[in-house]
Structure 1
Amino acid sequence: MQEYKIRIHDLPKDERPRERLIKNGASALSDSELLAIILRTGSKQENVINLSQRILKEYNIKQLSQINLTQLMKVHGIKESKAAQIAACFEIARRLETFKDEDKQKINSPEDVYRRIYPKIREQKKELFIELCLDTKNQIIKEETISIGSLNANIVHPREVFKLALAESAAHIIVVHNHPSGDPTPSREDIEITQKLVETGNIMGITLLDHVIIGDGRHFSMKEAGHI
């Protein structure tokens, strides 16, 4: 009489590796369960959990990370695709050990803001209102265009500005907009929105460091002009 081999789908749902990971998180799973998720399927002879357990009896995690595809394919039940899945998983882990975020640009002056933004907007015929979210070291963690206005007007509400700042856990913000006329001299509306942003930031604990207006090869700093 042929022996019955239990399949993954024969297990109760809450005992299947993938469902357990979704419910409890990856840290709750054993090594063999994690490997089973990577391999996805077993064979006619054994389910993927049994296959994973057998592999880890032959090789521990460190050994498994070091053997090449040819050696992996010598394990019964491991063919080229599964060997590639295992190798890719450990290669990602190795790269994570040496991974470094790209250096974040630090903003030290209105000139830094101008040099970053001007090349992106010099040909624009409409006003763009751009927000820079900064960390406690004044490094940029997010840059986003908040609104696009008409040829001579751009209406911005503090709600949109601080919604992004909160989402990014910003310590400070700088806002920037362009004057398509080429003259960066602030309008009355520019000064008013700056004051509203300062007031809102004071309430929310997020500092508006500057509002920089960019013209044609020139810029204006609300901070330097004493409006902040």
Structure 2
Amino acid sequence: MITKARMKELPKDERPYEKCLRYGPWKLSDAELLAVILRSGTAGNSCVDLACEVLKASRLEEGLLGIHHLSLQELQAIKGVGQVKAVQIKCIGELSKRISSAGSRCRLDFSNPETIADYYMELLRHEEQEKIICMMLNTKNHLLGDTVLTTGTVNSSLLSPRELFLEALRFHAVHIILIHNHPSGDASPSEEDLQITRRIQKAGEILGITLLDHIIIGDHVFTSLLG
């Protein structure tokens, strides 16, 4: 780890950008990878030092995962991180989620809850509030689209079956799958989770829209309520 060293004082081969060109990105530490994006540090501190500060800034998790928990305001509170760098860092976090989801999309099998959980895992497991997502499928179980129905508090989320089915009807869906996260990381269903699942199942039977599954996402774990 490079610490408290001015970039110009480092041997050329140890500067992150040049090191990446010579050896490849896999040879860089987490701080060095982030430093390549940040490009510059502050007076007396290199961009690697600044990257180290960013990786230690989250109160919830240190390292790369902590980036997901830092707001733009929290990032800009770090000396040397202005609006531009803060936006770059947040975009890196979002890009990592989308890369993970893109890799899982080709493996989606709507009869296999594990593939659905994999698809949404990186998107949801870092969230500090509950989010409920509805996947909408046609008669051949092809994905028509998905939408975030609601974002709740840290401990609970309010879901209106009326809004859910209005959205499903807008997509002309005949099957739906619900996915939501537990910020605690524990994917065990609450009594509220079980009740809302039963309510949506019954409402769907009347409307001719089948609830195929309700999947709860934790931290690298999931629970399928109907699968």
2:170 matches 1:167 = yes
Among 198, 202, 210, the alignment partner of 2:201 is 198
* 2:155 counterpart residue number: 152
Secondary structure, in 3 states, of the residue corresponding to 2:123?
helix
Task: Determine the C-alpha separation between the residues in 1 that align with 2:124 and 2:219.
Answer: 10
Which aligned pairs between 1:1-228 and structure 2 lie closer than 5 A?
106-224=109-227
Secondary structure, in 3 states, of the residue corresponding to 1:190?
helix
Quote how far apart the aligned CAs of 1:108 are: 2.4
1:131–1:161 Cα contact (<8 Å) kept: yes
Segments of structure 1 that go 5 or more residues without pairing to the other structure are 1-102
2:185–2:219 Cα contact (<8 Å) kept: yes
- Residues 216 and 104 from structure 1, CA distance in 2 versus in 1: closer, same or farther, beyond 3 angstroms? closer
Structure with larger Rg: 1
Task: Determine the C-alpha separation between the residues in 1 that align with 2:146 and 2:107.
Answer: 12
User: Which aligned segments of 4 or more residues in structure 1 are displaced greater than 3 angstroms?
Assistant: 103-106
- Counterpart AA for 2:150: S
Encode CA deviations 1:161-182: one digit per residue, 9 max, x unaligned.
1011100000100001000001
Segments of structure 2 that go 5 or more residues without pairing to the other structure are 1-105
1:108–1:138 Cα contact (<8 Å) kept: no
1:105–1:139 Cα contact (<8 Å) kept: no
Task: Determine the C-alpha separation between the residues in 1 that align with 2:128 and 2:220.
Answer: 15
Task: Determine the C-alpha separation between the residues in 2 that align with 1:203 and 1:107.
Answer: 22
Encode CA deviations 1:17-56: one digit per residue, 9 max, x unaligned.
xxxxxxxxxxxxxxxxxxxxxxxxxxxxxxxxxxxxxxxx
Normalised by the length of structure 1, the TM-score is 0.52
Quote how far apart the aligned CAs of 1:105 are: 5.3
Normalised by the length of structure 2, the TM-score is 0.52
2:152–2:158 Cα contact (<8 Å) kept: yes
2:177–2:212 Cα contact (<8 Å) kept: yes
Task: Determine the C-alpha separation between the residues in 2 that align with 1:217 and 1:194.
Answer: 22
Encode CA deviations 1:136-177: one digit per residue, 9 max, x unaligned.
121211110000000000010100110111000001000010
Secondary structure, in 3 states, of the residue corresponding to 1:185?
coil
Task: Determine the C-alpha separation between the residues in 1 that align with 2:164 and 2:218.
Answer: 22
1:177–1:213 Cα contact (<8 Å) kept: yes
Identity of aligned pairs, percent?
39
* 2:34 counterpart residue number: none
